[in-house]
Amino acid sequence: MGTTDGQRGPEIWIRGPVAAPDPVPMPYASTAAPRRFSWVATHGGAGGSTLAAVYGGHDCGRAWPGAGDPSSVLLVARTHAAGLDSVLRTLEVFRRGEAPRGLDLDAVVLVADAPGRLPRPLVQRVKVIESVVDVYRVPWVTNWRLGELGGTPPRETESLSRLTGAR
């Protein structure tokens, strides 16, 4: 196979070093739109409208997303007992396959119902929810209560900001 007696060797030896290939353009890297979400409140006063205003996405209120709405769902609830129970009931709807076809449950977003730490019984309910789905926590934000939704989202919600593409 060598060239010691005048015979040709493998083509690579004849051509010499091969130039590095041109980089392959990756159109999705620069043209991909951030994923869009539908915020679905599991109970009245959950905070879905506020979250949609702050993080973007479609506010469905307490209804399922419609035909033209994003099919990626973020369930929203407050961290009080009734709110956490409503999340568990809604998760059961997804588990039984009774949610509308084509919806993709991405996560649950729990909005603090008061400043400070959760009482132990509520922490236990949150752990149950976390055992079956990704959970994002949103702290008490006094400015939101006052209707001031501008500015940057709370530092504690950085992972939610990354998920939703909020800046």
Q: Are 58 and 69 in contact (CB under 8 A)?
A: yes
Q: Return the C-alpha torsion angle 147, 152, 155, 157, nearest 10.
A: 70
At 35-91, the pLDDT tens digits run 789 999 999 999 999 999 999 999 999 999 999 999 999 999 999 999 999 999 999
Q: Return the C-alpha torsion angle 159, 162, 164, 167, nearest 10.
A: 120
Residue 137: φ, ψ to 5°: -105, 135
From 21-25, 116-120, 121-125, the region with the lowest mean pLDDT: 21-25
**Per-residue confidence (pLDDT) for residue 166, from 0 to 100:** 81
Cα 21 to Cα 155: distance, rounded to the nearest angstrom: 43
Cα 125 to Cα 145: distance, rounded to the nearest angstrom: 25
Rounded to whole angstroms, what are the CA distances from 140 to 85, 100, 164?
Answer: 20, 32, 19
At 120-144, the pLDDT tens digits run 999 999 999 999 999 999 999 999 9
**Per-residue confidence (pLDDT) for residue 116, from 0 to 100:** 94
**Per-residue confidence (pLDDT) for residue 18, from 0 to 100:** 46
137 in helix, strand or coil? strand
More confident residue, 166 or 16: 166
Can you tell me the mean pLDDT for 88-105?
Answer: 96
* Helix H or strand E segment including 135: strand 135-138
Please name which of 50, 48, 133 lies closest in space to residue 88, comparing C-alpha atoms.
Answer: 133
Residue 11 has pLDDT above 50, yes or no: no
Query: Could you give the domains of the chain?
Result: 35-164 (3.40.50)
**Per-residue confidence (pLDDT) for residue 8, from 0 to 100:** 53
Rounded to whole angstroms, what are the CA distances from 73 to 47, 85, 107, 127?
Answer: 15, 18, 7, 20
**Per-residue confidence (pLDDT) for residue 33, from 0 to 100:** 59
